[in-house]
């Protein structure tokens, strides 16, 4: 009985949360990004289209990249980096994505924006694990707090 109850709770998952990890390799100027989201929430959020109202189209990987590039943005000195989808996988309950982007030289500031499912749920929490030049931080984005900036030292 406990197993059935746990399975039902996992399927309903009343907690609206995503997990994003961003790590910067300054030597190679490479951003590594992973994102983990609930599959049913992902589909519902993708159906809303991009932030500018565009429909998300293409094959699965193209759709995932359009979605993630709209919802998770890394900006170097105010300019967004262009991410590339390396992998996408699902286990029935959640989707996991791995992305990368090339960084620029002479970086002065980094801004991260995370709007995953913020149009779906008022209680959405997007957890960030951020690593840059030896500095590591955990941060919690919310519907009203979707941007975090870091100054380079």
* pLDDT digit string, tens, across residues 78-111: 999 999 999 999 998 999 999 999 998 888 999 9
The answer to whether position 123 is within a domain reads: yes
pLDDT tens-place string over residues 56-71 = 999 999 999 999 999 9
The answer to whether position 3 is within a domain reads: no
Query: Predicted confidence band at 5 (pLDDT cuts at 50, 70, 90)?
Result: very low
The answer to whether position 41 is within a domain reads: yes
pTM as predicted: 0.88
Q: Taking 90 as the threshold, does the pLDDT of residue 36 lie above it? A: yes
Contact 93, 38 (CB under 8 A): yes
Phi, psi values for residue 15, rounded to 5°: -90, 125
- Count of domains for the chain: 1
- The alpha carbon torsion through 61, 66, 68, 73 (nearest 10 deg) reads 140
Tell me which of 21 and 106 has the higher pLDDT: 21
Tell me which of 30 and 151 has the higher pLDDT: 30
- Percent residues over pLDDT 90 in the chain: 79
Task: Work out whether strand 135-141 and strand 79-80 pair parallel, antiparallel, or are unpaired.
Answer: unpaired
The answer to whether position 50 is within a domain reads: yes
Average pLDDT for the chain: 90
Query: Predicted confidence band at 11 (pLDDT cuts at 50, 70, 90)?
Result: low
The answer to whether position 42 is within a domain reads: yes
Tell me which residue range forms the domain holding 42.
15-151
């Amino acid at each position: 009985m406990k197993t059935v109850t746990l399975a039902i709770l996992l399927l309903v998952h009343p907690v609206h949360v995503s997990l994003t990890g961003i790590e910067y390799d300054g030597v190679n100027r490479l951003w590594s990004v992973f994102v983990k989201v609930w599959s049913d929430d992902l589909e519902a959020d993708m159906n809303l289209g991009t932030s500018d109202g565009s429909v998300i189209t293409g094959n699965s990987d193209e759709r995932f990249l359009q979605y993630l590039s709209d919802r998770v943005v890394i900006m170097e000195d105010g300019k967004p980096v262009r991410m590339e989808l390396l992998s996408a996988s699902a286990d029935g309950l959640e989707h996991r994505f791995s992305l990368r982007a090339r960084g620029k030289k002479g970086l002065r500031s980094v801004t991260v924006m995370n709007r995953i499912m913020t149009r779906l749920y008022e209680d959405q929490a997007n957890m960030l694990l951020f690593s840059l030049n030896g500095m590591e931080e955990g941060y919690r984005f919310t519907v009203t707090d979707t941007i975090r900036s870091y100054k380079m030292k």
